[in-house]
Chains A and B, each alone.
Chain A
């Protein structure tokens, strides 16, 4: 039996098409994936992301304990700031990708992928020094409010000032939205402005309905996993299990910016990444466009002169860029912008070219 978020009934009432996603019964779409995608780019969309996991470190030493487990550096952050980071193993490859929130040096909150929740928690328990993490996954529901009209919508429902001046990108605060106590975080995975609201599971439906009602004039739409996937792909945001995993390092994934090799105290995976950096990368995750006809999909072979040199990790017809786009690992000599190769689609070789990413930029 698939797990259900506190919004499961609400999704069904809205006529969502439900699918099994990493063991969770989740909405893939309500109306149309393309329509929902467009709504997030131009107005505001709501996503139920309650299936994501939350792990908390609290008490003296929480900051140091959590910081040693992630590749980015929470010691450089201010309280009220969040960072995107890798949870890496000794090889410098991914256990998961996470967002870590610094409430204070004695309270760190880490949001992890639903598919990795149990694995991450076990891994953190095993490797944490000083402070033991606590799995808070069942204590939080999470709603992502994404799109250019997200700020207006959330602001109308809260007395907390959520303007950029007050809560900038990757900053968060606590307050009430529609009378529901929330962590209000200016984060998301769509490439648009927006918030992720964490609340108690019992309050989730009230908050969801208030956002749907309050956003009527904005053209708010509930959005499913389908739109979430096309939106993040257009930004070349990595998806665990597709673009990043325990077989590719953070540097190969092009995520060097979330790896702070010089941070005091170090982190798990640091030595492997330093060695790889010194030796040079042999492969890299690139973003490409098909110049021939077709759509690249996860698992399709990447060929150069008829030889298999890599594999597509994510691909779609980009609804906003209106082109077939994808990502994949290729040998470093094929990774430069403008490099060409082929993607094998049902036995046919289709021309592709490495392009600058993100694929999508605001016009």
Chain B
């Protein structure tokens, strides 16, 4: 079973969200990166752009597959992980740490609470 940190929130599309002060950091789960295989490209949104909960905000490509990234919650992008442009495999190596994808200022902080907790996500992954 892949690592599922208790302090994060999760989507059914295998993104995680971590509150950090007034912002929320978003990445993909260990389960997602394992399923994808070697990540070779991450298409990031622009800083200043707006994400809408449930809508696509980027693309992650592995050697074989192209997968869409979906926003766990709405908000404005304040930072993107530029490291991924040159080293997309960081997502495989450290999905919950240096492999994070974007940092946003949520427009509705309530949305975070509506996401799955670790236990619910674990159930989802087990079913898959």
Residues on A lying within 8 angstroms of B by beta carbon are: 17, 28-29, 32-35, 226, 229-230, 293-295, 297, 316-317, 319, 324, 346
Output the nearest chain B residue to A346 by Cβ-Cβ distance.
B59
With A294-B41, A295-B40 as contacts: A319 and B63 at CB distance below 8 Å? yes
B54 an interface residue at 8 Å Cβ cutoff? Answer: no
B37 an interface residue at 8 Å Cβ cutoff? Answer: yes
In the bound complex, how far is the Cα of B41 from the Cα of A34, in angstroms? Answer: 13
> Is the Cβ of B66 less than 8 Å from the Cβ of A226?
no
> Is the Cβ of B66 less than 8 Å from the Cβ of A32?
no
15 examples of A-B residue contacts, CB within 8 angstroms? A28-B64, A29-B37, A33-B62, A34-B89, A35-B38, A226-B63, A230-B63, A294-B41, A294-B43, A295-B40, A295-B41, A297-B66, A316-B63, A317-B40, A324-B41
Given A32, A297, A346, which contacts B38 in the complex, CB threshold below 8 Å? A32
B59 to chain A, nearest CB (A): 7
A250 to chain B, nearest CB (A): 28
Q: Which residues of B contact A32 (CB under 8 A)?
A: 37-38, 92
Q: Which 3 A-B pairs have the closest CB atoms?
A: A317-B40, A33-B63, A34-B38
In the bound complex, how far is the Cα of B38 from the Cα of A229, in angstroms? Answer: 14
In the bound complex, how far is the Cα of B68 from the Cα of A346, in angstroms? Answer: 11
Q: Which residues of A contact B89 (CB under 8 A)?
A: 34
Q: Which residues of B contact A35 (CB under 8 A)?
A: 38
A237 to chain B, nearest CB (A): 17
B117 an interface residue at 8 Å Cβ cutoff? Answer: no
B61 an interface residue at 8 Å Cβ cutoff? Answer: yes
With A226-B37, A294-B41, A295-B41 as contacts: A33 and B59 at CB distance below 8 Å? no
In the bound complex, how far is the Cα of B92 from the Cα of A230, in angstroms? Answer: 19
Q: Besides the contacts A32-B37, A33-B62, A226-B64, what 16 more A-B pairs have beta carbons closer than 8 Å?
A: A29-B37, A33-B38, A33-B63, A34-B63, A34-B89, A226-B63, A229-B64, A230-B63, A293-B85, A294-B41, A295-B61, A297-B66, A317-B41, A317-B63, A319-B63, A346-B59
Q: Which residues of A contact B62 (CB under 8 A)?
A: 33
> Is the Cβ of B64 less than 8 Å from the Cβ of A33?
yes
A295 to chain B, nearest CB (A): 5
In the bound complex, how far is the Cα of B37 from the Cα of A230, in angstroms? Answer: 14
Q: Which residues of B, 64-92, contact A by the 8 Å Cβ criterion?
A: 64, 66, 85, 89, 92
Q: Which residues of A contact B41 (CB under 8 A)?
A: 294-295, 317, 324
B74 to chain A, nearest CB (A): 22
B67 to chain A, nearest CB (A): 12
Q: Which residues of A contact B43 (CB under 8 A)?
A: 294, 346
In the bound complex, how far is the Cα of B40 from the Cα of A211, in angstroms? Answer: 30
1/0 contact string of B32-67 vs chain A (CB within 8 Å): 000001101101000000000000000101111010
Q: Which residues of B contact A226 (CB under 8 A)?
A: 37, 63-64
In the bound complex, how far is the Cα of B76 from the Cα of A271, in angstroms? Answer: 63
A315 to chain B, nearest CB (A): 11
In the bound complex, how far is the Cα of B121 from the Cα of A211, in angstroms? Answer: 41
Q: Which residues of A contact B64 (CB under 8 A)?
A: 28, 33, 226, 229
In the bound complex, how far is the Cα of B38 from the Cα of A87, in angstroms? Answer: 35
B93 to chain A, nearest CB (A): 11
A227 to chain B, nearest CB (A): 8
B36 to chain A, nearest CB (A): 11
